[in-house]
Amino acid sequence: MCSRYLGFILLVWFPGALHTQSAAQPCPAPSLVNGYFLPVKETYTHDSKLTYACESPLKPAVEGWWAWSVCQNGTWSPTPRCIEEKACIPPTIDNAKYTEASEGWYEEGDIIRITCDKGYEHKDNIATARCRYGTWVSLPTCEMSTKSCSAPPKAPHAVIVDQGYQEMFPEDEGVKYECEDGYSIEGSHNYTLFCLAGIWTEGPMCSKETGRGGGHGGSAEAGTVGGHSTSSGRVTQPAGGGAGGSRPDIGHGGSVEVVPGGGHITSSDPGTQPGSGGSSSTSANRPLFTSIEHCGKHPIVPNGVVVEEKPMYLKFKCQAFYKQVGEDTVVCFSDGSWSKVPVCQDAFCVLEPGYYDQSSKVSLAMYIKEGETKHIPCPWEDWSVAVHCSNRRITHTRCCRSYYHRMVTCT
């Protein structure tokens, strides 16, 4: 009697154990058309493994000419299956996703489009792949975007909170720093840095709450964390800086020197702050990145428009027939000034009305993009004058006959 009660109590206490045992169902022999497998049995216990191959010209629906499958609670995984030799199995592409085939493989001629994960971009602008004779042609690769940042900079007397370690941070993503006990930043114990165009924005450094200290004489100060540092005309990327190698600091003139924590301060040569109005920047009032709301009205870029607006930056794009010079990303500094805006330069030629050949005439002014060639018809069929725009200057041929878009005979 006691043993029966004890058994009932165990059933009540450990229902999960019985459920686990009942869930481990055996598998029947797989139905493999045009293929064979070993070992051959009528049923297979949970976790049993079998190997299979396919009759020529078929192949397994996985990589290789032979494959294996495991019995998982009554189901074979992956399902043993033979497919056409010209079919393609799903490709493996790091940091990307694409639409999966409903049957688990792709037929000859199928095209898939790859979407890179946030913070990554298509290498060489290749985003699609085609299945040809069992392999993928021009399989795309997703690489870290030049506007993403690597790991954020290390800060003295501070740690990053609410964020686990990762090697890549997408643009506009922020990390929160918190000062250790006994340290603060003007009464606060935390601050945030943002990834902006491949560079971490700058932030103050934690100092002792009992006093700022740091009495090193001259104009030295606690410094900043993040950003770039430059000296003697060179650009140096500190540890944990942005991706894409060395690049100029956004919107800061003059030369700078490195200070502890990966930040920088302006040297004795004051330099000039670019941007709307321009303000001088010295070691005593080094401006930091801040929200664009702080700068108020957006800067104007002639022949350019804002195509993206984020809390920490604006992104411009030049209109058609104009070429962009300078960074497309504009940020706001804590002194209320904007960083240097891009310039949209003319990138077109104007074809004035008149004769460009004895038999070819332009009645109205025509705009031609830089590097573009347009054809002005001549009186004879398949004959035209080729007009080309290069370095904002017009060059043209005489009336020529074209054959498959190539000029072959001229008058």
- Asked whether residue 402 is domain-assigned, the answer is yes
- Asked whether residue 275 is domain-assigned, the answer is no
pLDDT for residue 18: 46
pLDDT for residue 22: 52
- For 121-170, the pLDDT digits (tens) are 998 888 999 999 889 988 899 999 988 998 898 888 999 988 788 888 99
Question: Of 126, 144, 162, which residue constitutes the final position of a domain?
Answer: 144
- Asked whether residue 293 is domain-assigned, the answer is no
Question: Of 42, 59, 84, which residue constitutes the final position of a domain?
Answer: 84
Do both 79 and 104 map to the same domain?
A: no
Do both 29 and 74 map to the same domain?
A: yes
pLDDT for residue 142: 92
pLDDT for residue 368: 87
pLDDT for residue 342: 93
Give the CA-trace dihedral at 177, 178, 183, 186, to 10 degrees.
70
pLDDT for residue 37: 93
| CATH number for 79 | 2.10.70.10
Q: Which residues of the chain have pLDDT under 50?
A: 1-14, 16-21, 212-222, 228-286, 404-405
Rounded distance between C-alpha atoms, residue 106 and residue 406, angstroms: 40
pLDDT for residue 410: 66
pLDDT for residue 203: 76
Work out how many domains the chain is built from and give that number. 3
Q: Give the structural domain span for 28.
A: 22-84
Question: Of 84, 115, 134, which residue constitutes the final position of a domain?
Answer: 84
- Asked whether residue 242 is domain-assigned, the answer is no
pLDDT for residue 348: 87
pLDDT for residue 279: 37
Q: DSSP string covering 69-87, please?
A: EEEETTEEESPP-EEETT-
- Asked whether residue 33 is domain-assigned, the answer is yes
Rounded distance between C-alpha atoms, residue 394 and residue 88, angstroms: 50
pLDDT for residue 358: 67
3-state secondary structure of 188: strand
Contact 250, 332 (CB under 8 A): no
Give the residues across from 389 on adjacent strands.
Answer: 394
| CATH number for 130 | 2.10.70
- Asked whether residue 135 is domain-assigned, the answer is yes
pLDDT for residue 23: 60
pLDDT for residue 408: 55
- Asked whether residue 127 is domain-assigned, the answer is yes
Tell me which residue of 202, 121, 118, 205 sits closest to 166, measured CA to CA. 118
- Asked whether residue 317 is domain-assigned, the answer is no
Do both 70 and 28 map to the same domain?
A: yes
